[in-house]
Structure 1
Amino acid sequence: MSKLTPGKLAGLKAVSDHQGVIAAAAMDQRGSLQKSLAKERGAAADAHDLEEFKSLVTEVLTRHASAILLDPEYGLPASKHRNGKGLLLAYEKTGYDATTPGRLPDLLDVWSVRRLKEAGADCIKILLYYTPFEKTSVNDLKHAWIERIGDECLTHDIPFFLEFVGYDADGGDEKSVAYAKKKPEIVSGSMAEFGKARYNVDVLKVEVPVEMTHVEGTRSFKGEKAYTRAQALQHFRDAEAMTHKPFIYLSAGVSNPVFIETLELAGESGTKFNGVLCGRATWKDGIPIYAQKGAAAFKQWLETTGVENINNVNNALKAASPWYLKFGANSLAELG
């Protein structure tokens, strides 16, 4: 395994719990959060709403998380309320360019890795829409883009967390059973690609390789089968076999009970995942509370239901393994 540089090691330690597991909360949603707040309120949501929402989530949930992921556009005020926990900052623009095919990404205009680090980031996070089944010309652009960011993080000696979210290259419905059957290969293929040394990614933030609503024999199952439970467990193991890099699971907007069952399944498969970066599965149901009843009511909801949600996640993280094992160490202390 490659040796961790001092800055990369410090950054990874900053966002992990004392056991070397990444139990991080995610609050870097921008466009989607703004739309959801406006929809629930029946009126526009502005920058102040986003800043206040993020600050409340951060203040309450970081008491129960090892770190928080925020965006530098609306999340910097929130970063002052993180109870001494680690900070990941997003470097990409929200969403993707819908005018060109291939869901091409873009970086925030007035930010660089240097500036994010100066703003207090312990780690840099990038979201990329990716599928191995996309046209080579499109994926070539994405590969070069990630290489540049990896080199920038290397220069500034800060960990690079890459989150990739799959999609159907043929424009099919990602909620369909047909897509659910393709998903294991999309996740595995993406892990194999971005685990390559040339990208200098330190932690892969990955989707689970199955669609829980299509796994027969789970509580989340909705009746249309893409895989048996045994096949689903094997998909977890197959995805893990694609890389030696530390990887953590994202919650992909599912409900808290579905995400908990997902982590249980990962644990049952014996997969050595290294934690989570979990956003909407903890705070999503509080959006109508904030939009309709305001900040005080939302804070109360966070301190009860929100805390309960994150504690459910933390409990499910008993199945996770410390990331330092991926570097051949038996403890954090061994790494320096």
Structure 2
Amino acid sequence: MAAFQERVFSGVQPTGNLHLGNYLGAISRFVPLQDQYDCIYCVVDMHAITVPQDPAELKRQIREVTAAFLAAGIDATRHIVFNQSQVSEHAELAWVFNCVARIGWMNRMTQFKEKAGKDRENASLGLYAYPSLMAADILAYRATHVPVGEDQKQHLELTRDIAQKFNNDYAASIAERGFGDAFFPLTEPLIQGPAMRIMSLRDGTKKMSKSDPSDYSRINLTDDADTIAQKIRKAKTDPEPLPSEEKGLEGRPEADNLVGIFAALQGIPRTEVLRQYGGGQFSAFKAALIDLAVDRLGPLGADMKRLVNDPAYIDSVLIDGADRARAIAKPTIDAVKDILGFVRAK
């Protein structure tokens, strides 16, 4: 296969109410990658409109996700931070991929079935074609790596299938234009330790979500210290003390979740958390978790609020990032048009 420059791409939807699950599961994991790769981090606002959005709220949420990126420690000068809709090459390449991907592939995408629910006939075409746009997001930059969670693995496999089919279908044209035996890389998943799945503070069997009607089910990144403390104190537990070994957490989803949150915030193995607090009551453990969460999340939330209150600065970051993203994506699209046989201005 052809050699490709190593590059990471990842995107976060501007869905509002960013919470601890978004931070530990995705955003915090983007930061260390900056020391190993060229990174492109995108606020995927075109994906957001696959379901109805309030325009004013969407704009606020785009800026909030950008603020979270910056507050978490992503360096928008060394790397690229932008919102997807400013770079039209995403949409152009998505259409090409709509013509490469097969209906059968799309029908196997489980996330569409989950998001569309029972009223599938009333779902938008955009929601159905979402994975094709996701492939375009990644391959517009010929990205070699994507940090993925469990719920995105199937979409990355589809991205690889689309890249492979494009490379095969247009092999002669690709070689003729000096790109060797492949124009698009087969993007690899980037696994950073165990998958971080943060569950609801009110029900350890459900994922932490902004759509949960109870605000006590989640810790929002903009929550102040008192709110964080109150939510952790009220977090559901069980009457048993914490075990000293992981097998003691089986069948105890709420305890398991709190131990996982502590381990992730502290950056230590779960076994070490249980070694320190095993055998003790939840009250003492929760007190320690409150101190840790406030220490880690307090500065992040304060920085996010400061940044959100300066929309002109946020917008300048996004515009600069979009300019630099376009400088990479446009040559990709131009080459794709040449490979396909389109006529274009040169």
Range of TM-score over shorter length: 0.3 to 0.5
| Structure whose residues are more often helix by fraction | 2
TM-score, structure 1 normalization:
0.33
Larger Rg: 2
Greater relative CO (CA pairs within 8 A, separation 6+): 2
| Structure whose residues are more often strand by fraction | 1
